[in-house]
């Protein structure tokens, strides 16, 4: 039996393919698509080069832009709607914990607490995971200029933080995808299997792996 999912959030570390999947899901489900726009953050390029100097303004800009996008969604929600985003608002704290020092994180936390109280909670979170070598390869291949200056140690810390966050995640139904050998942009067989599972997922934690013949 298919569920009506009003809001699906797709998540995962840098380079794992969450935006590609979010776009495909939005097209298949005829859903409104909400994408992060990192290129609109005026601090990001310099942050990748000098993270110790620009962590706080970079993080606060992301916090405010994520809040603005989801506030519009929350204010216009109805039972017939369907929306897909390539971020979960609560992951903002994950990035803050990696980039901010103790005093900055205290300030960030006070601001974040005031901003998150009335946002729409996803009906399903889809979490993509992949090993570090796959993430490094995909980041290199997509050749976004600002990303080429990211330290490999930062990507490793980010992957670890995501793993820890979703190991303990219980706030919504969760679908964990092994994205190591999956290219949803090119492999329609795996994508259609995933789409079928998403439409029928119930409460709790679920898993999706590639087709045995393609693994």
Do the Cβ atoms of 159 and 43 come closer than 8 Å? Answer: no
pLDDT in the model for residue 143: 65
pLDDT in the model for residue 140: 81
State the alpha helices, DSSP H only, in 76-142.
91-99, 102-115, 132-142
Domains and their CATH numbers in the chain: 7-208 (3.40.50.300)
Read off the pTM: 0.89
**CA-based torsion, 211, 16, 157, 151: positive or negative:** positive
d(CA 206, CA 177): 9
pLDDT in the model for residue 149: 63
d(CA 152, CA 201): 35
Residue spans of the chain under pLDDT 50: 214-215
pLDDT in the model for residue 28: 94
């Amino acid at each position: 039996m298919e569920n009506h999912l009003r809001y699906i959030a797709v998540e995962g570390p840098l380079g794992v393919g969450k935006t590609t999947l979010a776009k495909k899901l939005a097209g298949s489900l005829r859903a409104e698509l909400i994408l992060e726009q990192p290129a609109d953050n005026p601090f990001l390029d310099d942050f990748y080069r000098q993270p110790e100097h620009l962590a706080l303004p970079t993080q606060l800009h992301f916090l405010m832009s994520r809040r603005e996008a989801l506030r519009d969604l929350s204010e216009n929600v109805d039972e017939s709607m369907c929306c897909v985003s390539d971020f979960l608002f609560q992951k903002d704290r994950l990035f803050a914990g990696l980039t901010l020092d103790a005093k900055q994180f205290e300030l960030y936390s006070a601001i974040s607490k005031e901003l998150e109280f009335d946002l729409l909670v996803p009906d399903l979170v889809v979490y993509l995971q992949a090993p570090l070598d796959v993430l490094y390869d995909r980041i290199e291949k997509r050749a976004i200029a600002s990303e080429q200056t990211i330290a490999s140690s930062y990507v490793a810390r980010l992957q670890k933080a995501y793993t820890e966050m979703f190991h303990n995640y219980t706030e919504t139904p969760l679908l964990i995808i092994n994205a190591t050998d999956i290219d949803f942009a090119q492999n329609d067989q795996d994508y259609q299997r995933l789409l079928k599972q998403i439409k029928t997922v119930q409460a709790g934690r679920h898993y999706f792996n590639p087709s045995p013949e393609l693994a």
